[in-house]
Amino acid sequence: GDSVTQMEGPVTLSEEAFLTINCTYTATGYPSLFWYVQYPGEGLQLLLKATKADDKGSNKGFEATYRKETTSFHLEKGSVQVSDSAVYFCALSSSGGYQKVTFGIGTKLQVIP
């Protein structure tokens, strides 16, 4: 079945550092790929998505590129801020008839001033 593997946290970075959170997936067909973010005390919200190979999703300075050859969707940001502290979830949606989403375990990011 579908699965998502992402690096375990927590990840602690200083403000303005470069961020990479690795994510790889296993799925049949051509899934859509997502990064969701959960800020402290809030619900999950979509950060970015990519629906086909080589697409790049981007939002709020974050980027991720759909790499079919390596089955990866790594999240990157060039300069993190304290306000980026949150839990980040990599996810995929099967290419079937509806959007059943499979999530990774989540990576907690803590950015210190």
Partner 1 sequence: GAGVSQSPSNKVTEKGKDVELRCDPISGHTALYWYRQRLGQGLEFLIYFQGNSAPDKSGLPSDRFSAERTGESVSTLTIQRTQQEDSAVYLCASSGRGRVGYEQYFGPGTRLTVT
Please report, as ranges, the residues that interact with partner 1 according to CB under 8 A: 4, 32, 36, 42-46, 49, 51, 89, 91, 93-106
Nearer to partner 1, 36 or 80 (CB): 36
Phi-psi group of 84: left, alpha or beta (phi > 0 → left; psi -120 to 50 → alpha; rest → beta): alpha
Distance CA(103)–CA(33), nearest Å, equals 10
**Beta carbon of residue 73, minimum distance to partner 1 (angstroms, whole number):** 15
Nearer to partner 1, 64 or 93 (CB): 93
Q: What are phi and psi of 10, to 5 degrees?
A: -75, 155
User: Percent helix, strand and coil across the chain, each rounded to 5?
Assistant: 5, 50, 45
**Beta carbon of residue 34, minimum distance to partner 1 (angstroms, whole number):** 9
**Beta carbon of residue 61, minimum distance to partner 1 (angstroms, whole number):** 19
Nearer to partner 1, 4 or 19 (CB): 4
Distance CA(110)–CA(108), nearest Å, equals 7
- The H-or-E segment that residue 59 falls in is strand 56-59
Nearer to partner 1, 49 or 77 (CB): 49
**Beta carbon of residue 84, minimum distance to partner 1 (angstroms, whole number):** 19
